[in-house]
Each structure stands twice: as C-alpha cells, then as structure tokens.
Amino acid sequence: MKAEIYSITYRIPLTDAQQARLDRKWPDGDPFITYEKIAFILEPLPVEDVYWSYHTGQFLYFTVRGDDIEGTVAEVIARLENKLGKL
C-alpha cells in the first residue's frame, strides 16, 4: 500500500493593497469581492476552501486537489494576480 498526496492547503501572503481590495465593501456592508466571485475566477480548477479574513492576518488560504498540484497552484496565483494585483 502506498499513500499519495492528493490535496494540499496553501497560504499566500497578501500585500496591503491586495488585502484592502478584499476588504472593500458596498454601501450596504456586503463585500465587494465575495468568496463566490473568487471561486468563479478559479473555475474549473480543482480548488476549494478559499478563505481570507483579517482574523488570520494578511493571508489567502486555499486547498488544491488532484494530480497536478504545482500546475494548479501556478494557475491560481496567475488568476489571483490578475484580479488583485501582483502577489
């Protein structure tokens, strides 16, 4: 029997500008960039559990699943940089 890595949770440090973008709110208090919006940007990549919060510091967390974890992480970073600015 052999165990293989199938999923890994990553943590990306965010710049002040990126954190400010994620913290922006509409006048009614709803977030400007929602978890659903980030999930839509990352579709159809095998990524889940995308999370950020001022309680966790300036980090964005996500879990990558599948066989090409390194390639998926590179694509996630490219898409997030496109949306939030350079990571």
Q: Give the pTM.
A: 0.84
Residue 59 lies in a domain: yes
Instruction: Name the domain count of the chain.
Output: 1
Residue 1 lies in a domain: no
Residue 61 lies in a domain: yes
Residues 6+ apart with CB under 8 A from 48: 62, 63, 65
Name the residue range of residue 26's domain: 7-84
Residue 15 lies in a domain: yes
Residue 2 lies in a domain: no
pLDDT in tens, 59-79: 999 999 999 999 999 999 999
Which among 55, 52, 54, 46 has a CA at the least distance from the CA of 83? 52
pLDDT in tens, 3-58: 988 899 999 999 999 999 998 999 999 999 998 999 999 999 999 999 987 677 89
